[in-house]
Amino acid sequence: MLSDFYKPGALPISFELFPPKTDKGVRSLMLQVEQLVKHKPAFITCTYGAGGSTRGRTLEIVEKVKTMFQVPVAAHLTVVGSSVADLRSFLAEAERRGVDYIVALRGDPPQGETTFKPNPKGLRYANELVELINDEFSELGVLVAGYPEKHVEAPSAEVDLENLKRKVDAGAQVIVSQLFFRNSDFYSWRERCEKAGITVPIVPGIFPINSLAQISKIAKMCGAGIPKQLFDKLSEKPDDAQWHKQVGTAYASQQVNDLLDNGVPGFHFYVLNQAEATGKILTALKGHQAKKKSGSPA
């Protein structure tokens, strides 16, 4: 079972890829995955094309990763634009291709639209997709998304938490968090989840920043706050990509070390199809773990 990865003391890691648009892109991605698997991930996931542009590639990528590297894989799936029949057909194809898990999502409104409009023959919320998978495709383990700083559309953190609980009650086995940059947000959300009776593993999603422009856009889209100190540091050299990567990697390293000290069950890395930054963070994490074990100050 998926949640078995998160046994106390195990600290499994997972990596999230996105589908490249071209065959050449897929070939370069596999070279990155070759580097990533050296860190022995519990599983690797691939996103489901926002807006529908690349969704056909999701299953192709996860199947390739599983065949080439013998790592368990998860396909993301959103309900955006799909009828229930389309969702069933994707899930049946996923099972046929040997996919192990599904990251079950509602998805964002397509580009240019501000509100989510369900397909008239489709589903409205992620909890309904979790239900569908559990009822009809029970071989597939299910992960869902959670939001330490609340989902952008939710009227309050309390309502968002009730909706997260709905997904767990429908059968989600693991929660992966949206990216965040203040660990305190993650800790207070985790505490509220526990108080609400959520007992499945809550895994922090780690985003190694690699460009100021990119993170400003993403953070705005998903409602994640960037601490002023971090923003100022990145802005010291606004056009220097190397600087942004260096600052982003150092920041994420501090984040994961602190999260480890605060008892997280594992880590999910938004690797952005690049192995280097995540590799550096994991090497620093191993050093931190070794220091902790030997009892020397971290």
Query: In angstroms, what is the C-alpha Rg of the chain?
Result: 19
- At residue 276's C-alpha, the angle toward residues 254 and 29, to 5°, is 135
Only one of the segments 23-31, 93-101, 163-171, 286-294 lies at the binding site for ligand FAD (rule: CB under 6 A); that segment is 163-171
Which helix (H) or strand (E) covers residue 15, if one does?
strand 13-17
126 closest CA partner among 95, 149, 102, 98: 102
- Pairing between strand 141-146 and 267-270? unpaired
Single residue of 32, 78, 257, 278 touching ligand FAD by CB under 6 A = 78
Single residue of 176, 219, 226, 275 touching ligand FAD by CB under 6 A = 176
- 169 or 194: CB nearest ligand FAD: 169
Residue located via tokens 């100021």: 212
To the query of whether residue 158 is one of the catalytic residues in this protein, the response is no
Single residue of 66, 106, 233, 288 touching ligand FAD by CB under 6 A = 106
- 270 or 288: CB nearest ligand FAD: 270
Check residue 173 for interaction with ligand FAD (CB under 6 A).
no
What secondary structure letter does DSSP report for 273?
T
Give the dihedral of Cα atoms 200, 278, 209, 193; nearest 10 deg: 10
Residue 106's CB: how many other CB atoms inside 10 A?
22
- 117 or 291: CB nearest ligand FAD: 117
Least distance in angstroms from the C-beta of 69 to ligand FAD: 20
174 closest CA partner among 148, 132, 140, 142: 142
Only one of the segments 19-27, 101-109, 239-247, 248-256 lies at the binding site for ligand FAD (rule: CB under 6 A); that segment is 101-109
Quick note: the x/- pattern for ligand FAD over 127-146, rule CB under 6 A, is x-----------------x-
User: Are 159 and 118 spatial neighbours (Cβ–Cβ below 8 Å)?
Assistant: no
Interacting residues with ligand FAD (CB under 6 A): 47-48, 50, 76, 78, 103, 105-108, 125-127, 145, 151, 153-154, 159-160, 163, 166-167, 176, 178, 205
Residues marked as catalytic: 16
